[in-house]
Amino acid sequence: MPMLNDLLLFGFILGCNILLKFIIPKKIRQKTYFKTIGVVGILFHELSHLIMCIITGVKPKKMKIYYKRQFGFVQFDATERVTFLQIALISLAPLVFCSYIAYGMFCIMFKIDIELLYKVFAGICFLSLLLGAKPSNHDFKMIGWTFCDDKIYSLYQIILVIISGGFIYIIIYFANFYLPFYLTFLYFIFTGILYYILKYLFIGIKRFVMWVKSRITFHNTSGLSRDLYRNRLKSNNKIKETIERGQW
C-alpha cells in the first residue's frame, strides 16, 4: 500500500532504536568503540535537521557535533517566526532520512552480492543509523511548544496535510501509479507540493472574497455619502475603507 509501507518503516526503525538503547548497557555505550560506531548516526541525525531547515525555509545558524557526549545540535535564529509544520518536519527529519538510508544499508547487507568487507561496513552504518534515528526529547518538545504557540493555525496545517495526503492516495489508487519502494519517498514530495497548491489556492480565494466585500462596502459607502450630501452641504465625518486581513 503506497505511503503506508514507508510509515511502517519509520515505526520499525524507531522501535529498533528504543529497543537497542534499552537492551545495550550504559557501560557499553560509553566505550570508545561504541561511540565511534554511533558518531555516524549522530552526523546523519544533525545533517537531517540541517537539510530539512533548508527545505522548509528556516535559515540555520550553526551545527555542532560532540563526539564524547554523543550529542549534536543545529541552531537557527530564535527570533525567526516558524510554524508548527516547519518545526515538525525539522524535528522528525532524522527518523525519515535515517530510515531510508538504513533500509539502503540493509539491502547492501542481504540483497546485493558484493564483497564481505562492504557488507560489514554497511552493517556498522546500519547499526549507527538505528542509534541516531530517533528524534531527541527536545525535538518532540519543540513540536509541542510550536503547536501551542498558534493552535488554530497548527490545526489548519495538520488538516491541510491530511487533505493533501488523501488526494495523493486517491490519485495513486485510481491511476494505479505505484512506484518501487526506493522511490516511494516521492509520494511525500507530491503531498508537499499539493499542500502548497491548496494553501495558496485558499489564500487566493480568501483575498478574492475580501476584495468582493470591499467593493460592496465601497458601493454602500458611496451611496451613504450621496445621501449625507443631500442633507448637509458639508460632512465633517469621513468614512474610511478598512479591510481586515487574516494571518496566513
Contact 108, 114 (CB under 8 A): yes
Contact 142, 54 (CB under 8 A): no
Higher pLDDT, 227 or 194: 194
Contact 182, 6 (CB under 8 A): no
Q: pLDDT at residue 169 above 60?
A: yes
Across the chain, which distance is largest between two alpha carbons, in Å? Answer: 98
Determine how many CB atoms are found less than 10 A away from the CB of residue 52: 23
SS3 66: strand
Three-point CA angle 230, 235, 237, nearest 5°: 130
pLDDT attached to residue 144: 93
pLDDT attached to residue 213: 85
Tell me the percentage of the chain whose pLDDT exceeds 70.
87
Dump the DSSP string for 95-127: HHHHHHHHHHHHHHHHTS---HHHHHHHHHHHH
Contact 175, 149 (CB under 8 A): no
The domain limits of the chain are 4-149
